[in-house]
Amino acid sequence: MKVSQLFTKTSKNVPGDETAKNARLLIQAGYVYKVMAGVYAYTPLGLRVLENIKRIVREEMNAIGGQEIIMSSLQRRETWETTGRWDDEVVDVWFKTKLKDDTELGLAWSHEEAIMEMMQQFVKSYKDLPTSVYQFQTKLRNELRAKSGIMRGREFVMKDMYSLHASAEDLDTYYSGAIEAYNRVYDRLGIGDDTYVTFASGGAFTKFSHEFQTICDAGEDVLYVHREKNIAVNEEVLDDAVKELGIEKSELEKVKSAEVGNIFNFGTDKSETMGIRFTDSDGTQKPIYLASYGIGITRAMGVIVEKFADDKGLVWPESVAPFTVYLVRIGGDEATKQADELYAELTSKGIEVLYDDRDERPGTKFADAELMGMPHRVTVSDRLIEAGKLEHTERTSGEAVQLTRSELVARLG
């Protein structure tokens, strides 16, 4: 893609009310557009990042047998009444609306009950189990505070998966596999080293729920970690946890963190409340064992921004970067010819290139390259051409080396 064709522009201006670093940088670099507090639109650059994150998550969910679906945003009141969660005092983030005939509807803040209601129509017998479904969907939540940029939206993208089982043992096996799949997701997103599976507050140090927390200064949670032992404990269960783990509080480091995912083992609780049963091989009716698995897609993008950005701008890990290379062209006809050729060659090799073909000053192009944060910058200039070289600069280290074109292609390929 050519920068001259991108409708977004980099900008020095950010909305005055935007305090979160992730949103400020993403707005300045032209990745998101702020619609209102907690509500953001994604431009081509931002959408590419989201799609890359989704691709990684999708591959890992497919690998554990997840079947992708997409549910609706409009939900029936009755769907949530069965579990008591239509009540605004039970769920305080509902957005609700009405049909013209005054029938009340909910705007999906979650799809737990909605998916179970649907699955009930398909899963009737032990032969239909186990099964698991997932989706990427926009959730709508009337969050009280929305000061963390895209890390806490009133509208945000979540991956939610649900697995259904005939027995507790079968669920446990699947649940452990899902934890491994989640770890692979965070590794591939580049945040694996700082992401911990914690003992979640809701489950009070049982094995019924787990959070995936990434150490991040902009996060809203507090975590106590033991990096060598790879242990992380939520503040809420700290006292119980240290007792159980046989460690001292002083061994744990207190850090800020962001919940990038969580998983719950409902056992048969939810299906008993909703009356969801299957016919077992002996002909008896039994409640289905259920677990749910969430990942905050847009929150993960925000966390990546917060963790890697520097004073010059965004820094994307290669796996999620919208483009691998930012190609800068400086100079006259020969530079244009050579840059055009390189763009065509890299693109034909499947390397994603954002080509800065604008007639801007070199300083402007370099600053934009840094602000936008692609992992590799390649410069083609008249002066370099005289020496038979190109310049390759890594975004993370800022290190620049001069290479021949074939050396560069080999390096990037």
Q: Considering the complex, what minimum distance in angstroms separates the CB of residue 148 from ligand ATP? A: 8
Q: Output 159 or 389, the one with its CB closest to ligand ATP.
A: 159
- Fill in the per-residue mask, 98 to 127: x = in contact with ligand ATP (CB under 6 A), - = not in contact: ------------x-----------------
Tell me: does residue 136 bind ligand ATP (CB under 6 A): no
**Are the CB atoms for 259 and 222 separated by under 8 Å?**
no
Tell me: does residue 46 bind ligand ATP (CB under 6 A): no
Among residue numbers 246 through 285, which ones bind ligand ATP (CB under 6 A)?
259-262
Only segment of 97-105, 266-274, 293-301, 381-389 that touches ligand ATP (CB under 6 A)? 293-301
Q: Output 259 or 357, the one with its CB closest to ligand ATP.
A: 259
Candidate list 48, 210, 299, 395; residue touching ligand ATP; CB under 6 A: 299
Written as six digits, the tokens of 190 are: 């580049």
b/e per residue 346-377 (b: at least 16 CB within 10 A): beeeebebbbbbeebeeeebbebbbbbbbbbb
Tell me: does residue 153 bind ligand ATP (CB under 6 A): yes
Q: Which residues pair with 17 in a beta bridge?
A: none
CA–CA gap between residue 373 and residue 52 (Å, rounded): 15
Each as own residue / partner, the long-range contacts of residues 64-68 (CB below 8 Å, 24 or more positions apart, any chain) are 64/132, 64/174, 64/177, 64/178, 64/181, 65/132, 66/132, 66/133, 66/134, 66/161, 67/131, 67/132, 67/133, 67/134, 68/133, 68/134, 68/135
Written as six digits, the tokens of 356 are: 């800065």
Residue in 299, 289, 64, 48 with CA at minimum distance from that of residue 183:
64
Q: Considering the complex, what minimum distance in angstroms separates the CB of residue 337 from ligand ATP? A: 46
Residue in 124, 115, 78, 126 with CA at minimum distance from that of residue 281:
126
Candidate list 298, 379, 381, 393; residue touching ligand ATP; CB under 6 A: 298
Q: Output 214 or 379, the one with its CB closest to ligand ATP.
A: 214
CA–CA gap between residue 199 and residue 204 (Å, rounded): 7
Q: Considering the complex, what minimum distance in angstroms separates the CB of residue 342 from ligand ATP? A: 39
Residue in 192, 314, 307 with CA at minimum distance from that of residue 256:
307
Residue nearest to ligand ATP (CB): 296
Residue count, binding to ligand ATP (CB under 6 A): 15
Candidate list 60, 112, 117, 143; residue touching ligand ATP; CB under 6 A: 143
Candidate list 80, 134, 136, 156; residue touching ligand ATP; CB under 6 A: 156
Candidate list 27, 56, 116, 158; residue touching ligand ATP; CB under 6 A: 158
Q: Considering the complex, what minimum distance in angstroms separates the CB of residue 305 from ligand ATP? A: 13
Only segment of 40-48, 95-103, 188-196, 292-300 that touches ligand ATP (CB under 6 A)? 292-300
Give φ, ψ of 360 to 5 degrees. Answer: -110, 165
Residue in 167, 199, 201 with CA at minimum distance from that of residue 290:
167
Per CB under 6 A, residues contacting ligand ATP are 110, 141, 143, 152-153, 156, 158, 259-262, 294, 296, 298-299
